Structure 1
Amino acid sequence: MAEEEPVVRYERNGPTAVVTMNRPNYRNAQNSAMTYALDDAFYRACADDEVQVIVLAGAGEHFSAGHDIGSPGRDVDVDYERRAGLWWGHTDKAGGESRFAREQEVYLGMCRRWRDMPKPVVASVHGACVAGGLMLAWVCDVIVAAEDAFFADPVVRMGIPGVEYFVHPWVLGPRIAKEFLFTGKRMSAQRAYEVGMVNRVVPREQLTDTSLELAGEIAAMPRFGLALAKKAVNQAEDLMGRHSGLDSAFGLHHLAHAHNAEVEQDSLSGMDAKSMKRAAE
């Protein structure tokens, strides 16, 4: 099903590029069309010398409810031009090879690509930030959350150890990460602030202005200095095992998919968007 509106909007606000996910009728669930549109927008912003900072936001009532696992616009069988790595396409492959190739590209690979953008990125989060939505927020350097924002990675209900971009221990700390995954419960914006995952929490009506104000403060710094500072912090995280940890967790993620496909209804253990929402409630 074709989308009536662009799945990602791009606009300039002075030295800030505002990138907005635009599937509000589906809570900004991420299909591949959105993934590659986000990549286009981020590349455009990074290539524009007038842009100093990027703000990532979501249209409608929610930032993002995660990967698209059931909307009419789900496009898992479409073979987009690959950008995040040299793995082959998935559409003419079967079983675990197909799933691994696709998720290596559109999930893990894209998030790694975006995390390494040389320009600072501010996530402006409201409403649901769940599973794949967490991955998008976590590739950003700073997170501003509205008071109504909530965060969750409930995929353990599918028998899967967590989303593909598995940085939970680094952004939450090991014990909070375990509770977060073991229970699948929502974490409030205030709790996310307390554990250091979120930089600021503001009333919903102040979210956009606060995000843009923070972006403006960052934009006043020298571009190359910002790029080097970001790289220095990212390298420090990788020295703490983040990069190799992602590879290890990605393998466990696909072991879970394969196990589900063998003993359950499908690789998601028969769960869909509606059943996941019911379980959360």
Structure 2
Amino acid sequence: MSSVLYQSRDGIAEITINRPDKHNVIDHSVVDGLHEAWHRFNAGSDRVAILTANGDRAFSAGANLKDIPHDFWRAVPGVGVPVEKPIIAAIGGLVIGGALVLVQFADLAIAADNTVLSYPEAKVGYSGGLISSLAARIPHKVAMELLLVGGSIDAHRAYEIGLVNRVVPSGDQLTVARKFAAEIAANAPLVLKLLKNFVGATLPKGPSEAAAIARATVEAVNTADDYREGIAAFFEKRAPIFNGTVPSPSEASTV
């Protein structure tokens, strides 16, 4: 069973974390699945993506602390994978740790009224630092309370501070997200891309975010066909023939 599902219809991608029996905990398979899904979305014809999860109890309970995926940054759109199209998060139940990071980097969010968001990394002694960019998206003092106290907020508080766009009855979040997505998908894609990129350039980036973007950019170069061709040409004592292509995520993972 795939940990991340990708479904496409009418120009809308639905990317679903699919570990409901484990509260959709983010493990290595989820990181790999999301990484590939964002590449597929950005390169394909879908105009909008909805990020959601199967199960009623949790959008995601955060990282697997028994085997922490330290490369979680690869799963984050706009960080591990450059994404130039709109993303809507449809969330409900628990939204913990890395799951909150995913919501943070979505362009819009629809929350079920049973949603509880928290970031308890200060309580467990581990952090990847990507959450620091939350302070560019919600009021500073509210962000610091979430991060330093490690408490939680409900869906209505998330709406008050601008972290989510709508609060809806539990079970309706995906339906409402689909309505938003259909409206966005009907708009001019070049304008959507321009505005998303301009907003991304306007928002401040935290140090972990900037470092992860740089690392992803370097890895894209160092896993490309030109890397293999250049090394082969060196040992074969011939001129390299470069083509400038970037491998698919599955190809890159085997390098």
TM-score interval, smaller chain: 0.7 to 0.9
Correspondence 1:132-143 to 2 at 5 A: 132-143=98-109
8 A Cα contact 2:34 2:75, kept in partner:
no
8 A Cα contact 2:74 2:81, kept in partner:
no
8 A Cα contact 1:155 1:162, kept in partner:
no
The verdict on how the C-alpha distance between 1:24 and 1:150 changes in structure 2, with shifts beyond 3 A counting, is same
Whole-Å Cα distance in 2 between the matches of residues 37 and 151 of structure 1? 23
SS of residue in 2 equivalent to 1:172: coil
Deviation at 1:114, TM superposition (A): 5.3
Whole-Å Cα distance in 2 between the matches of residues 41 and 244 of structure 1? 25
Q: 2:179 corresponds to which residue?
A: 213
Match of 1:197 among 163, 176, 186: 163
Unaligned runs of 5+ in 1: 77-101, 249-281
Q: 1:18 corresponds to which residue?
A: 14
Whole-Å Cα distance in 1 between the matches of residues 209 and 176 of structure 2? 32
Match of 1:31 among 16, 27, 32: 27
SS of residue in 2 equivalent to 1:218: helix
Whole-Å Cα distance in 2 between the matches of residues 176 and 157 of structure 1? 18
Q: 2:44 corresponds to which residue?
A: 48
SS of residue in 2 equivalent to 1:204: coil
Whole-Å Cα distance in 1 between the matches of residues 127 and 141 of structure 2? 15
Match of 2:53 among 49, 52, 58: 58
8 A Cα contact 1:144 1:207, kept in partner:
yes
> Scaled by the length of structure 1, what TM-score is found?
0.69
Q: 2:253 corresponds to which residue?
A: none
1:107 correspondence with 2:103: no
Letter in 2 for 1:27: H
Whole-Å Cα distance in 2 between the matches of residues 30 and 245 of structure 1? 19
Whole-Å Cα distance in 2 between the matches of residues 209 and 243 of structure 1? 33
Whole-Å Cα distance in 2 between the matches of residues 153 and 37 of structure 1? 23
Whole-Å Cα distance in 2 between the matches of residues 230 and 57 of structure 1? 20
Q: CA RMSD in A?
A: 2.2
8 A Cα contact 2:7 2:15, kept in partner:
yes
Deviation at 1:25, TM superposition (A): 1.0
Number of residue pairs matched? Answer: 210
8 A Cα contact 2:133 2:206, kept in partner:
no
SS of residue in 2 equivalent to 1:67: coil
1:153 correspondence with 2:119: yes
Correspondence 1:1-281 to 2 at 5 A: 5-49=1-45, 51-61=46-56, 62-70=58-66, 74=67, 103=70, 106-111=71-76, 112-113=78-79, 116-160=82-126, 163-238=129-204, 242-244=205-207, 246=209
SS of residue in 1 equivalent to 2:16: strand
Deviation at 1:168, TM superposition (A): 2.4
Which digits, 9 at most, give the CA deviation of each residue in 1:63-88, with x for residues without a partner? 11111113xxx5x6xxxxxxxxxxxx
Whole-Å Cα distance in 2 between the matches of residues 201 and 115 of structure 1? 28
Which digits, 9 at most, give the CA deviation of each residue in 1:121-157, with x for residues without a partner? 0000000110011111112111110101110001111
Unaligned runs of 5+ in 2: 212-255
8 A Cα contact 2:5 2:18, kept in partner:
yes
Letter in 2 for 1:154: P
Which digits, 9 at most, give the CA deviation of each residue in 1:200-253, with x for residues without a partner? 111113211101000001111111111110001010103xxx2447459xxxxx
> Scaled by the length of structure 2, what TM-score is found?
0.76
SS of residue in 1 equivalent to 2:90: strand
